[in-house]
């Protein structure tokens, strides 16, 4: 039998995905008694799930109305849970484009700062990139993805900017939405993409801030353009 935590996660994920998919439309009132009856759970489990959705600005309790579903313009779109739900919806390509455009404004700056600082984080960027190269040669998508996550996390945290470091969780969530995506060929984890990561890593370790910024911009821009082309 599922644990209370497991029940909570199931209710939360199901409701969150329904809201993102539009199955539960904005303005819909979620009644705890109805949700509890549908899932066969206690109202306390439902209330916990609704509290999380409220923290993500996906629902809002209204006096004498109930808990009402909010439109996507209100959602916390950088929250990992929302990214995961959107990544499993028809908004997949839109989300990739939007967040890659945001990353274009952040990651090149982070790369330059990481190159300026050097140290263990800079070396971690290159080490992850080289692991991506090796994984691409073997066709090992799982190892490639984990190295890719480490690469971008090190790039952002190595900047010394706590806001950039916080953004690493958003980037990781976005990268992980690609693991189950079968509508495009980008999840092939190409050697060319790995080589672009290696170029960034070598510039960062070499403390070439301008080169690190430019190669990171190229890396993100190419990925964005691939998604735009694939979505057409």
pLDDT, one tens digit per residue, over 129-174 is 999 999 999 999 899 999 999 999 999 999 999 999 999 999 999 9
User: Could you tell me where in the chain the CATH 1.20.120.530 domains are found?
Assistant: 90-231
4-74 under CATH 1.10.10.10, yes or no: yes
Buried-exposed string 137-150: b where 16+ CB fall within 10 A, e elsewhere: eeebeebbbbbbbb
Q: Which of 195, 185, 177 is nearest to 136 (CA)?
A: 195
Start-to-end CA distance of the chain, whole Å, equals 45
What's the CA gap between 102 and 100, in Å, rounded? 5
User: Could you tell me where in the chain the CATH 1.10.10.10 domains are found?
Assistant: 4-74
CATH code, 90-231: 1.20.120.530
pLDDT, one tens digit per residue, over 36-52 is 999 999 999 999 999 99
């Amino acid at each position: 039998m599922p644990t209370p935590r497991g029940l909570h996660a199931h209710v939360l994920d199901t409701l969150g995905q329904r809201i993102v998919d539009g199955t539960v439309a904005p303005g819909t009132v979620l009644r705890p008694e109805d949700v509890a009856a549908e899932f066969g759970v206690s109202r306390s489990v439902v209330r916990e799930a609704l509290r999380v959705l409220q923290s993500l600005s996906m629902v809002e309790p209204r006096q004498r109305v109930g808990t009402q579903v909010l439109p996507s313009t209100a959602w916390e779109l950088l929250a990992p849970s929302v990214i995961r739900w959107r990544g499993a919806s028809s908004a997949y390509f839109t989300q990739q484009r939007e967040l890659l455009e945001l990353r274009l404004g952040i990651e090149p700056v982070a790369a330059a700062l990481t190159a300026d600082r050097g140290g263990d984080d800079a070396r971690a960027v290159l080490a992850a990139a080289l692991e991506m190269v090796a994984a691409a040669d073997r066709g090992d998508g799982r190892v490639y993805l984990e190295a890719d996550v480490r690469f971008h996390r090190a790039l952002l945290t190595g900047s010394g900017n706590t806001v950039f470091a916080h953004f690493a969780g958003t980037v990781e969530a976005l990268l992980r939405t690609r693991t189950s995506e079968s509508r495009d060929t980008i999840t092939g984890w190409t050697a060319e993409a790995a080589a672009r990561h290696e170029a960034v890593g070598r510039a960062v370790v070499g403390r070439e801030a301008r080169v690190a910024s430019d190669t990171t911009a190229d890396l993100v821009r190419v990925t964005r353009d691939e998604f735009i082309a694939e979505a057409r």
